[in-house]
Amino acid sequence: MAEKTRPKVVSIKSGNQPVTSYDVARHAGVSQSAVSRCFKPGASVSEKMRERVMKAADELGYEPNAIARSLISGRSNLVAILISNLTNLYYPEVLAELTQRFSAHGVRVLLFALKSEADANETLQQIWPYRVDGVIAAAELSPDHVAEFEKRGMPLVFYNRYLAGNSASFVCCDQEDGARQLIDGLYNAGHRRMAIIAGPPESVVGVERKTAALERLEELGLDDVPVLEGDYSYESGFALAEKLATGNGKCPDAIICANDVMAIGALDAFRVNHGMSAPEDISVVGFDGVGPSNWKSYDLTTVRQPVRRMTEAAVTMLISMIEEPGSPNEKRVFSGILKTGASARFAE
Amino acid sequence: MAEKTRPKVVSIKSGNQPVTSYDVARHAGVSQSAVSRCFKPGASVSEKMRERVMKAADELGYEPNAIARSLISGRSNLVAILISNLTNLYYPEVLAELTQRFSAHGVRVLLFALKSEADANETLQQIWPYRVDGVIAAAELSPDHVAEFEKRGMPLVFYNRYLAGNSASFVCCDQEDGARQLIDGLYNAGHRRMAIIAGPPESVVGVERKTAALERLEELGLDDVPVLEGDYSYESGFALAEKLATGNGKCPDAIICANDVMAIGALDAFRVNHGMSAPEDISVVGFDGVGPSNWKSYDLTTVRQPVRRMTEAAVTMLISMIEEPGSPNEKRVFSGILKTGASARFAE
DNA sequence: CGCAATATTGCATTCGAATGCAATCTATGG
DNA sequence: CCATAGATTGCATTCGAATGCAATATTGCG
């Protein structure tokens, strides 16, 4: 070969600088371990030493290498957040809150956005090599997956999901209570012909919302309530409302939707395609309290999830599981906050 | 010493398992380097060796430690994504796309959600220690910050942001072209009394949309177009529209908003507070093409950003900057796609 | 001033995988 | 059957910081 392979020039032109603790040590005339200790809170270092080292570190522009630190210390200060449908309006707020809260604890976030719930397997394989300290899952996982976490001693907190009959930790909004509040309000306002636009059957919280609603309706003596299955999207809310409106004669007068976005879709269907308006001709309620639920054109009656409290809980739980291995699992359920709007005839 | 240092018990109780390449090597009866090579694509390994090692790895449940790998190889396979306002409806889609695309390249995403643009400094300090391979910034950075990237030889691609007079790479939607299309359509449909609800002055793309609009308006002979400054939120769109509607007598008949969400807010203000409806009494256009812009109650005329193309470009650019250090910076501008809806009287 | 108790510091090793180099093996050609 | 180029493999070292232990410095007290 004519050309020699010798790309390693001693001084790279644009001065890139992997300053290490050794460089700092040399520059300050101390040992590498001294440098390391100066950057570790609570380590035994004299004031004089700390000053010298910090000065040298500043002069050289030293930043500890988190990768190397992780390797030896066994803590990466990374957590993974698993989210299945980021484009669901509800999640961006959750994600932002989680990220900022972790950040305040010195923990960084590795994001994994699943295309579909089915990708969980593959995604977990991507997570393990990074030796994250813990995982927040806002996505469905199978019992096998959860068992894998246990086997590894990997802290896991579900966010608004959980596994029936499983002891894994989670934070959740009280779907049951929320559903009841909504039903009661509609009932008290005189509604008797209700229908449900539910979430997809794979969605645990969706099923719970639906089940709780049906139970409450039965307690109130309302049977045969139509239940249609949507997928949480605007389009499905729109289409299913259309189906209800054009169904066999008697359109319900109140629709309970499994989330706000479908409620919005439903409202639009009734309005645009049937000239109906809420709350005079029809009542529609949602769930979540996403931003657009407050937009004047919709002004939904809904149950708002206390996102701040819930994310704070999730972060606190995960961090304590990380810092005290072996601490017991925990399940925290927060009540939603009823917000009444103009989308429904409603009486608390 | 009475007790020998031999903490390495063969079987840890609750089977947590830091299986290393040494364990695999021992179990397969080969050297650690052989194991390492088996997990490195393109390395020189015989078929027999690969089988033996893989079998052993499977039996022990070995997964390469990405942290250790990063340390020695100098590549972390991590990129940081900086986003300033995740709750802006436009970003979740972008984030999901970016994450999935990076994922397909074997690159993981560290997410940094800024509370405000001013947090960039602090956030950068959090990024450096992780030795990420590159950064996507959907947030404003100062020239000093960008210089810092250059000094470190750290690949950086701006997403829908850029620094005037700076050579840093970016992908962007063609704000100017989009603004012109919108203005022309309104003009052709007969509108002459237009107003602008602009973005905040710190927002580079906002300013560009505004400037381009004003230029075009001037070319068309329309001067003295009122410009109000919003902050991209529904509330600000609503409030500013209200101001226009109740202003000194003559309400404009067409409003150009710097993003969809403000356009939606404006529409609601005209409708709810003034009984006006679009496109009969007023025309409103937005920018971005977020999900709700298609909702029937709004059906915005807007310019949709080609998010798929743009994210693909950003990912491709960043990865090639990572893999071929020293490759030149690049700026890629994509035209938006005009989408006409019922929110405006419009003629292409 | 002397000695024990305590506080700092440095030394040497460790974390787990990658890799240059040398040793060994394999296949090929004569 | 032997020499030799090429393919495999193992050895030893490296990445950068953390840490147990031993060496040294400091402090306090009698």
Amino acid present at B305: Q
| Backbone dihedral angles phi then psi of residue B113, each to the nearest 5 degrees | -100, 110
CA distances from A303 to A96, A209, A252, A334 (A): 21, 11, 21, 12
Which chain A residue has the Cα nearest residue B124? A63
Angle at A35 between CA A31 and CA A39, to 5 degrees: 160
| Residue B278 in this model has a pLDDT that exceeds 60 | yes
The DSSP secondary-structure symbol of B301 reads B
Q: Tell me the C-alpha distance between A199 and A208, whole Å.
A: 10
Cβ proximity of B124 and B146 under 8 Å? no
Question: Residue B169 corresponds to which tokens in the numbers above?
Answer: 């790479």
Chain A residues near residue B265 by CB distance under 8 angstroms: 295
Token pair 């100017």: residue: B176
Beta strand B254-257 with B156-159 is unpaired
Cβ separation B71–A76 shorter than 8 A: no
> Predicted confidence band at B67 (pLDDT cuts at 50, 70, 90)?
very high
Question: How remote is the C-alpha of B219 from its chain's centroid?
Answer: 33
Which pLDDT score is estimated for A16?
A: 59
| Averaged pLDDT, A36-48 | 88
Check whether residue B12 has its CB closer than 7 Å to nucleic acid strand D. Answer: no
DSSP bridge pairs for B134: B79
Residue B186 neighbours by CB under 8 Å, 6+ apart: B194, B254, B256, B283, B285, B344, B345, B346
| Residue A5 in this model has a pLDDT that exceeds 70 | no
Q: Tell me the C-alpha distance between A141 and A139, whole Å.
A: 6
**What 3-state class would DSSP assign to A9?**
coil
| Averaged pLDDT, B63-82 | 95
Check whether residue A39 has its CB closer than 7 Å to nucleic acid strand D. Answer: yes
Mean pLDDT of chain B: 90
| Residue A329 in this model has a pLDDT that exceeds 70 | yes
> Predicted confidence band at A7 (pLDDT cuts at 50, 70, 90)?
very low
Cβ proximity of B91 and B83 under 8 Å? yes
Q: Which nucleotides of C are covered by protein (CB under 7 A)?
A: 7-12, 14-20
DSSP bridge pairs for B339: B302
Q: Tell me the C-alpha distance between A83 and A135, whole Å.
A: 11
Which pLDDT score is estimated for B6?
A: 29
The alpha carbons of chain A give a radius of gyration, in whole angstroms, of 27
| Averaged pLDDT, A118-133 | 91
Question: Residue B82 corresponds to which tokens in the numbers above?
Answer: 């900086």
| Averaged pLDDT, A85-94 | 88
Cβ proximity of A230 and A198 under 8 Å? yes
| Averaged pLDDT, A80-98 | 91
- Lowest average pLDDT, out of A15-19, A302-306, B37-41, B218-222, goes to A15-19
The DSSP secondary-structure symbol of A327 reads P
> Predicted confidence band at A17 (pLDDT cuts at 50, 70, 90)?
low
Q: What is the DSSP string of B41-85?
A: TT----HHHHHHHHHHHHHHT----HHHHHHHHS---EEEEEES-
> Predicted confidence band at B224 (pLDDT cuts at 50, 70, 90)?
confident
| Averaged pLDDT, A224-242 | 94
Which pLDDT score is estimated for A10?
A: 31
> Predicted confidence band at A249 (pLDDT cuts at 50, 70, 90)?
low
Q: Tell me the C-alpha distance between A91 and B91, whole Å.
A: 12
Q: How many helices (H) and strands (E) does chain A have?
A: 13, 12
CA distances from A3 to A11, B244, B326 (A): 21, 70, 20
Question: How remote is the C-alpha of A205 from its chain's centroid?
Answer: 13
pTM (2 d.p.): 0.90
| Residue A2 in this model has a pLDDT that exceeds 50 | no
| Averaged pLDDT, B328-332 | 94
Q: Tell me the C-alpha distance between B179 and A292, whole Å.
A: 26
Sort residue A146 into left (φ over 0), alpha (ψ -120 to 50) or beta. Answer: alpha
Protein residue closest via CA to C1' of C12: A33
| Residue A119 in this model has a pLDDT that exceeds 90 | no
> Predicted confidence band at B179 (pLDDT cuts at 50, 70, 90)?
very high
Which pLDDT score is estimated for A9?
A: 29
Residue B251 neighbours by CB under 8 Å, 6+ apart: B193, B244, B245, B282
DSSP bridge pairs for B227: B196
> Predicted confidence band at B41 (pLDDT cuts at 50, 70, 90)?
confident
Q: Tell me the C-alpha distance between B111 and B107, whole Å.
A: 13
**pLDDT tens digit string along B112-170?**
999 877 788 889 999 999 999 999 999 989 999 999 999 999 999 999 998 888 899 99
Cβ proximity of A210 and A227 under 8 Å? yes
Q: Which of B21, B63, B77, B86 to mutate to test the interface with A (most CBs of A within 10 A)?
A: B86
Which pLDDT score is estimated for A18?
A: 82
Chain B residues near residue A16 by CB distance under 8 angstroms: 151-153
Residue that wins the pLDDT comparison between A251 and B23:
B23
**What 3-state class would DSSP assign to B158?**
strand
Q: Tell me the C-alpha distance between B35 and B21, whole Å.
A: 6
Check whether residue A22 has its CB closer than 7 Å to nucleic acid strand D. Answer: yes
Cβ proximity of B35 and B21 under 8 Å? yes
Q: Which of B39, B296, B298 to mutate to test the interface with A (most CBs of A within 10 A)?
A: B296
Residues A113, A114, A120, A121: what is their CA dihedral angle, to the nearest 10 degrees? -90
**pLDDT tens digit string along A285-326?**
999 999 999 999 999 999 999 999 999 999 999 999 999 888
Which pLDDT score is estimated for A6?
A: 27
Angle at B131 between CA B125 and CA B133, to 5 degrees: 115
Cβ proximity of B28 and B56 under 8 Å? yes
Which pLDDT score is estimated for B326?
A: 83
Cβ separation B113–A95 shorter than 8 A: yes
Cβ separation A16–B152 shorter than 8 A: yes
**What 3-state class would DSSP assign to A74?**
coil
**pLDDT tens digit string along A93-108?**
999 999 999 999 999 9
Element (H, E) at A111: strand A108-113
Token pair 């107003």: residue: B195
Residue A55 neighbours by CB under 8 Å, 6+ apart: A28
- Lowest average pLDDT, out of A208-222, B36-50, B131-145, goes to B36-50
Beta strand B302-304 with B337-339 is antiparallel
Chain B residues near residue A295 by CB distance under 8 angstroms: 234, 264-265, 268
Which pLDDT score is estimated for A203?
A: 87
Cβ proximity of A98 and A92 under 8 Å? no
